[in-house]
């Protein structure tokens, strides 16, 4: 079971990494469009639509990745003080009451929007000669399906935690800096840091 959970974590992570490269493409496109518009006096009417689609695609496809890393915003003023079993119970209820219905509706509605868009060969009407919209709308059900799959994994984790009393491990990625581990790596003690602080006056000049 744990191998299966970590496999889905890795899948969500891979999808997030792959689509994160869109930020590089988006940056290059914006830079080129600004140069083309103001230096060459040759703007492209389709550029704005493409920028929106690229950003929207990146945002949607990062949902499962963020959930796999437990990185979504949570009001943890009280949650952080709960025991793991209580945390898992709260999470399980919220997943069942809100997450599953919401994400299922997103995937289902997205499939309908995408199918209709393909059927009519939909193009953007914001600008003249607007780009095709149907590839972008196809991302909606795909992102919803991957997010739904990751949500099932998180529900299983909640059940496991309720039974065992501790959270099962998850795929690791970029984490916040552990200051204590960093001190051990560079062989720095709190006394050394305090000594450096004493060398600096409140105005920033050395004694």
In a domain, 198, yes or no: no
Q: What is the pLDDT of residues 68-121, one digit of tens each?
A: 998 887 777 788 888 999 999 999 999 999 999 999 999 999 999 999 999 999
In a domain, 200, yes or no: no
The domain tally of the chain equals 1
Q: How confident is the model at residue 178, as a pLDDT?
A: 56
In a domain, 194, yes or no: no
Highest mean pLDDT of the ranges 34-38, 80-84, 177-181: 34-38
Give how far Cα 104 sits from Cα of 67, 109, 155, 194, Å.
16, 8, 15, 54
In a domain, 191, yes or no: no
Angle between helices 47-61 and 134-164 (to 10 degrees): 20
Mean pLDDT for the chain? 86
Distance of CA 172 to the CA centre of its chain: 14
Residue 124, classed as helix, strand or coil, is: coil
Q: What percent of the chain has pLDDT over 70?
A: 82
Domain that holds residue 101: 2-176
Angle between helices 2-20 and 22-38 (to 10 degrees): 10
Q: How confident is the model at residue 174 (pLDDT cuts 50, 70, 90)?
A: very low
Residue 184, classed as helix, strand or coil, is: helix
Give how far Cα 31 sits from Cα of 61, 69, 94, 134, 176, Å.
23, 31, 42, 26, 31
Q: How far apart are CA 125 and CA 56, in angstroms?
A: 17
In a domain, 40, yes or no: yes
What is the DSSP-derived secondary structure letter of residue 81? G
Q: Which residues pair with 206 in a beta bridge?
A: 200
Highest mean pLDDT of the ranges 38-52, 144-158, 191-205: 144-158
Q: How confident is the model at residue 203 (pLDDT cuts 50, 70, 90)?
A: low
Q: 151 pLDDT exceeds 60?
A: yes
Count other Cβ atoms within 10 Å, centred on residue 18: 11
Contact 139, 128 (CB under 8 A): no
- pTM greater than 0.75 (yes/no): yes
Q: How confident is the model at residue 156, as a pLDDT?
A: 95
Q: How confident is the model at residue 188, as a pLDDT?
A: 66
In a domain, 196, yes or no: no
Q: How confident is the model at residue 179, as a pLDDT?
A: 57
Q: How confident is the model at residue 95, as a pLDDT?
A: 96
Give how far Cα 195 sits from Cα of 31, 188, 190, 202, 207, Å.
47, 11, 9, 14, 12
Q: How confident is the model at residue 183, as a pLDDT?
A: 61
The predicted model gives 176-192 an average pLDDT of 63
In a domain, 165, yes or no: yes
Q: How confident is the model at residue 45 (pLDDT cuts 50, 70, 90)?
A: confident
């Amino acid at each position: 079971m744990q191998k299966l959970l970590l496999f889905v974590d890795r899948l969500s992570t891979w999808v997030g990494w792959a689509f994160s490269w869109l930020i590089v493409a988006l940056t290059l496109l914006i830079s080129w469009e600004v140069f083309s518009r103001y230096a060459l006096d040759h703007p492209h009417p389709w550029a704005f639509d493409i920028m929106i689609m690229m950003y929207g695609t990146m945002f949607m496809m990062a949902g499962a990745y963020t959930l796999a890393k437990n990185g979504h915003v949570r009001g943890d003023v009280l949650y952080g003080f709960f025991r793991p079993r209580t945390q898992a119970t709260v999470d399980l209820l919220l997943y069942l009451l809100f997450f599953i219905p919401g994400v299922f509706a997103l995937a289902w509605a997205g499939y309908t929007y995408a199918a209709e868009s393909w059927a009519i060969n939909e193009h953007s009407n914001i600008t003249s000669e607007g780009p095709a919209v149907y590839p972008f709308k196809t991302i909606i059900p795909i992102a919803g399906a991957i997010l739904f799959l990751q949500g099932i994994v998180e529900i299983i984790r909640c059940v496991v935690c309720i039974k065992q009393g501790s959270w099962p491990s998850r795929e690791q990625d970029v984490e916040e800096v552990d200051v204590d581990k960093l001190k051990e790596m560079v062989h720095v003690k709190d006394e050394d840091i305090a000594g450096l602080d004493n060398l600096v006056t409140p105005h920033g000049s050395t004694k």
